[in-house]
Structure 1
Amino acid sequence: MESGDPLVTAQWLKENISAPDVRVVDATWIPPFLNRDETGRQLWSNCHIPGAVHFDIDAIKAGGTDLPHMLPDPVMFSSRVRKLGIGDGNRIVVYDQFNMFGAARVWWMLRVMGHQDVKVLDGGLQAWIDVGGETEDMPPVPMERHFTARVRSDLVKDVTQMVAASEGKTHTIIDARSKDRFTGEAPEPREGLPSGHIPGSISVPSSMLSDESGKMKSADALKPLFPDTSRPLITTCGSGVSAAVTALALARLGNWDVAVYDGSWTEWASDSSRPIATGEA
Structure 2
Amino acid sequence: MTTDPLVSTDWLAAHINDSNVKILDASFKLPGVLPLPKDDYLAAHLPGAVFFDVDAVSDHSNPLPHMYPSAEQFGRDIGNLGIANSDTVVLYDAGGWVAAPRAWWMFLAFGHGNVRILNGGLKKWRAEGRAIESGEVKPKPASFKASYDPKRVRSMQQLIANVESRAEQVIDARAAERFEGR
Say yes or no: does 1:26 pair with 2:25: yes
**3-state SS of paired residue (1:157):** coil
Amino acid at match of 2:10: Q
- After superposition, the CA RMSD in angstroms is 1.7
Aligned pairs, how many? 181
Q: Which residue of 2 aligns with 1:86?
A: 83
Displacement of 1:148: 1.1
Deviations 1:114-168 (A, max 9, x none): 0000000011112112333211113222111111112111110001111221111
Deviations 1:227-257 (A, max 9, x none): xxxxxxxxxxxxxxxxxxxxxxxxxxxxxxx
* Structure 1 spans left out of the alignment, 5+ residues: 190-281
More deviation, 41-50/56-65: 56-65
**3-state SS of paired residue (1:174):** coil
Q: Which residue of 1 aligns with 2:131?
A: 134
1:180/1:153 Cα in 2 relative to 1: closer, same or farther (>3 Å)? same
Amino acid at match of 1:17: I
Given candidates 37, 40, 45, the residue that maps to 1:43 is: 40
Q: Which residue of 2 aligns with 1:72?
A: 69
* Structure 2 spans left out of the alignment, 5+ residues: none
Question: Does 1 or 2 have the higher relative contact order (CA < 8 Å, sep 6+)?
Answer: 2
**3-state SS of paired residue (1:86):** coil
Displacement of 1:179: 4.6
Amino acid at match of 1:86: I
Does the 8 Å contact 1:95/1:121 carry over to 2? yes
TM-score, normalised with respect to structure 2: 0.92
Q: Which residue of 2 aligns with 1:177?
A: 174
Q: Which residue of 2 aligns with 1:154?
A: 151
Following superposition, which runs of at least 4 residues in structure 1 exceed 3 angstroms of deviation? 177-182
| In structure 1, C-alpha distance between the alignment counterparts of 2:84 and 2:29, rounded to whole Å | 26
**3-state SS of paired residue (2:170):** strand
| In structure 1, C-alpha distance between the alignment counterparts of 2:79 and 2:59, rounded to whole Å | 17
TM-score, normalised with respect to structure 1: 0.61
Displacement of 1:91: 0.5
**3-state SS of paired residue (2:117):** strand
More deviation, 169-178/58-67: 169-178
- Bigger Cα Rg: 1
Does the 8 Å contact 1:58/1:68 carry over to 2? yes
